[in-house]
């Protein structure tokens, strides 16, 4: 009788372990609400789903669950190629999200099981690695993996601008353009009304639109950066100064980081010359003209 009870308990234990193993699922976390992702970005990506922690922090996952780690790793590569460089795999036990530490430990244990074992060959005094045969490998290919493999370059998802993933960078659609000579700056000069003063900023650098965030911008994590696009280039500006004196006082600080740093001015959605900006500033505040 005792032997039957012991056998029953053993069977129940194995069943519970097997069930727990079947409950383990994977999801790819792209980002969290702490990264201040824009609603516009999330609306463009219907594949992103939200999970709210008890603390109120929102986690953004790519699509649904995966029962296979290899499948999750394929999705992770795809998500990183889109621009979510900080994405990683999270583990769920049923509907319960494990901590990152617990999840990483579980993933590491699975990867360890998949490592080829080394078999000692006493006759030849050599070590032979047991690797899966081609037939075995084919069995592991899931439907999702086949879809990823067959994806054509034309249908690949659009890459996410890296600036959208940075909290301190404000992305502008277009760079304010220089006014044309015919009635451009002259129109501002001849106009008696100046509705508001120009804004002074400090230009840092510019790179091609498909480039990553330049190092000079990455150094300024605690400052608000403005990124504009124009003619296939991304322009990075910093600061919002109410007058050129304040901008020039700060200029040297940025000159020590990049020799390209320079004071620029923005007025009515256009970049204007510094001389005109100073003139408009003086007229707005009724400052006597400088001679």
Residue 246's CATH number: 3.30.70.1070
Identify whether residues 144 and 200 lie together within a single domain: no
pLDDT at 150: 33
- Angle CA 259–261–266, to nearest 5: 160
Identify whether residues 148 and 167 lie together within a single domain: no
Give this prediction's pTM: 0.42
Establish if 126 belongs to a structural domain. Answer: no
Establish if 128 belongs to a structural domain. Answer: no
Higher pLDDT, 86 or 258: 258
Identify whether residues 41 and 180 lie together within a single domain: no
Full domain range(s) for residue 98: 2-117+137-155
Identify whether residues 169 and 148 lie together within a single domain: no
Identify whether residues 199 and 244 lie together within a single domain: yes
Identify whether residues 141 and 35 lie together within a single domain: yes
pLDDT at 161: 59
Higher pLDDT, 7 or 54: 54
Establish if 103 belongs to a structural domain. Answer: yes
Establish if 122 belongs to a structural domain. Answer: no
d(CA 194, CA 282): 10
Higher pLDDT, 117 or 151: 117
Q: Assess whether pLDDT exceeds 90 at residue 251.
A: yes
Beta-carbon contacts of residue 97 (< 8 Å; ≥ 6 apart): 51, 53, 59, 90, 91
* Neighbour count for residue 117 (Cβ, 10 Å): 9
Identify whether residues 167 and 141 lie together within a single domain: no
Identify whether residues 18 and 149 lie together within a single domain: yes
Counting the structural domains of the chain, the total is: 2
Residue 37's pLDDT band (boundaries 50, 70, 90)? low
d(CA 209, CA 235): 9
């Amino acid at each position: 009788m005792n032997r039957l009870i012991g056998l029953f308990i053993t069977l129940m234990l194995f069943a519970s372990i097997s069930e727990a193993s079947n409950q383990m699922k994977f999801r790819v976390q792209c980002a969290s609400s702490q990264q201040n992702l824009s609603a516009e970005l999330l609306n463009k990506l219907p594949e992103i789903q939200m999970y709210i922690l008890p603390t109120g922090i929102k986690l953004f996952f790519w699509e649904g669950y995966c029962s296979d780690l290899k499948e999750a790793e394929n999705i992770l590569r795809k998500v990183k190629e889109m621009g979510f460089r900080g994405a990683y795999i999270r583990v769920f036990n049923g509907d319960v999200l494990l901590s990152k530490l617990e999840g990483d430990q579980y993933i590491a244990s699975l990867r360890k099981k998949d490592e080829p074992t080394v078999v000692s060959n006493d006759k030849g005094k050599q070590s032979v690695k047991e690797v899966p045969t081609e037939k075995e490998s084919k069995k592991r290919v899931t439907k999702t993996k086949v879809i990823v493999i067959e994806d054509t370059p034309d249908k690949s998802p659009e890459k996410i601008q890296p600036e959208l993933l940075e909290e301190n960078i404000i992305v502008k659609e277009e760079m304010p353009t220089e006014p044309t000579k015919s009635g451009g700056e002259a129109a501002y000069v001849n106009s008696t009304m100046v509705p508001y003063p120009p804004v002074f900023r400090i230009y840092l650098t510019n790179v091609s639109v498909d480039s990553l965030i330049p190092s000079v911008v990455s150094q300024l994590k605690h400052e608000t950066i403005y990124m504009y696009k124009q003619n296939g280039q991304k322009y990075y500006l910093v600061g919002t100064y109410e007058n050129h004196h304040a901008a020039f006082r700060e200029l040297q600080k940025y000159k020590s980081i990049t020799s390209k740093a320079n004071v620029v001015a923005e007025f009515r959605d256009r970049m204007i010359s510094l001389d005109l900006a100073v003139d408009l500033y003086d007229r707005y505040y009724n400052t006597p003209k400088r001679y």
